[in-house]
Structure 1
Amino acid sequence: MTTPERVLITGGASGIGAATAARCRAEGWEPVIIDRVGNGIRADLSSPDDTARALAEALAGGPITRLVNNVGVVVPNDAEHQTLAEFDLALSLNLRCAFQCMQALLPGMKAAGFGRIVNMSSRAALGKELRTAYSATKAGLIGMTRVWALELGAHGITANAIGPGPIRTELFDKANPPGAPRTQAIIDAVPVKRVGTPEDVAHAAAFLLDARSGFVTGQVLYVCGGMTVGVAGV
């Protein structure tokens, strides 16, 4: 019996990360989850030292050739009042952590001549009110994705980003109660007339993680129900 290929998923204990982990299991891959809660490897991924410890624990079982950089934080605030502490937290969790995870897994990917990196960006990378720190880091994640695609393609490694739109998670429902006028306004703005689900995003991640997706790299796949049409560049 062959050992399942492993997929490292940061922030995989809930929401989009948990749905991605479930989809990976369905695909026959073994998810390795790093999160501050749950049954996986526990770590504070906003800390470089704790991230390094968790990565060493994950890699103790051997190389991991698939990576989903999913963990993130929003820290909403207007540009005038966004604090340096909020900005630094977003930078560390949304951007530095992804960079650190890539570097840790890269030797194993290069040795295998195969790798799949999926970075969870956001539609907010295109610009959104009250999202200075979040938008900056999610746009930065797209920039890193493109550089990695160019630098790592010769080693059989692809790097792509996903830009979710409004996704119905526990946090979304808490901020946007079902049936509330504001929630309905969000739904009305989506061309497909519904809010996305974590499984919608997990399906996109599974496609990009697949060995058969080796000719797709450096791309941003918006899973947004069509909200980026007319906004994102062609």
Structure 2
Amino acid sequence: MTRTAIVTGAAQGIGAAIALRLAEDGMAVAAVDLTESACGDTAEAIRSRGGTAAAIGADVADESAVAAAVRRTVETVGAPTVLVNNAGVTRDNLVFKMTADDWDTVLSVHLRGSFLMARAVQEHMVAAGFGRIVNLSSMSALGNRGQANYSAAKAGLQGLTKTLALELGKFGVTANAVAPGFIETEMTRATARRMGLSFEELRRLAVAGIPVNRAGLPEDVAHLASFLASEQAGFVSGQVVYAAGGPAA
């Protein structure tokens, strides 16, 4: 049986890696990002490898856009029973410099967007008697200087995850969160620029505190998301798994 997955923030980085991995697992994939053109390369990469994919543009913080994206998923690649909430943005700043718009933007995309997507997709999961929700949290949920908005959003995702697990478990739906540590992505490159460092300098500083002595790659997160989205993970729910190369600090 071919299952259908929606992966948000699938244009690049972790989202693209997860979309490609789920396609390798045999799933049809709706690659969702802010515009259809942004995630077109991800969908084409899946199709070029013999998979089934659709590129769908949607602002996950917009309720009507989310509903439309889920409808289009059903029409093009099938009813979704796997959801990976990965879409995210950063608006980093110290609290005394952070604007209300900085706060609202980050909370809206990460937290409101994940809620809207989960609410829209869960009816298909309940109908199928099977569902997997994987939310992308972060080590920053434990607190991170200059990221009050991002940290709050990622901590909120952990609470949302546990509540979804409690409410949807009896319908065969699991919900888990993956909390990456330092991963080599465009987002961490942007962090380096904000700090006035080269990416190599930031990576060296990060790796110095990682027990496995290397930075993470998007594929490291994708492997974990693949397991949590699988049928074999049916007895794992409401968990936050830190993919950080060592114990969460």
TM-score w.r.t. the length of structure 1 is 0.91
For residue 80 of structure 2, give the secondary structure of its aligned residue in structure 1.
coil
2:126 equivalent in structure 1: 110
8 A Cα contact 2:6 2:80, kept in partner: yes
- 1:18 is the counterpart of 2:19: no
| Alignment-mate amino acid for residue 212 of structure 1 | Q
Unaligned runs of 5+ in 1: none
**Aligned partners of 1:71 and 1:179: how far apart in 2?**
25
Pairwise CA distance, 1:58 = 1.6
8 A Cα contact 2:180 2:244, kept in partner: yes
**Aligned partners of 1:69 and 1:190: how far apart in 2?**
26
Pairwise CA distance, 1:227 = 5.0
Unaligned runs of 5+ in 2: 41-54, 193-197
| Alignment-mate amino acid for residue 59 of structure 1 | V
- Number of residues paired by the alignment? 226
Percent of aligned pairs with the same amino acid: 42
**Aligned partners of 1:148 and 1:171: how far apart in 2?**
27
**Aligned partners of 1:173 and 1:130: how far apart in 2?**
15
Cα RMSD between the aligned structures? 1.5
Pairwise CA distance, 1:79 = 1.2
Q: Aligned runs of 1:131-150 on 2, under 5 Å?
A: 131-150=147-166
8 A Cα contact 1:165 1:227, kept in partner: no
Q: Aligned runs of 1:23-42 on 2, under 5 Å?
A: 23-36=21-34, 37-39=38-40, 40-42=55-57
In the superposition, relative to structure 1, how do residues 144 and 50 fare at CA in structure 2: closer, same or farther (>3 Å)? same
**Aligned partners of 1:51 and 1:155: how far apart in 2?**
22
1:81 equivalent in structure 2: 97
**Aligned partners of 1:119 and 1:145: how far apart in 2?**
7
1:7 equivalent in structure 2: 5
**Aligned partners of 2:32 and 2:116: how far apart in 1?**
13
| Bigger Cα displacement from structure 2, 47-56 vs 129-138 | 47-56
**Aligned partners of 1:81 and 1:179: how far apart in 2?**
27
TM-score w.r.t. the length of structure 2 is 0.86
| Alignment-mate amino acid for residue 26 of structure 1 | E
| Alignment-mate amino acid for residue 21 of structure 1 | A
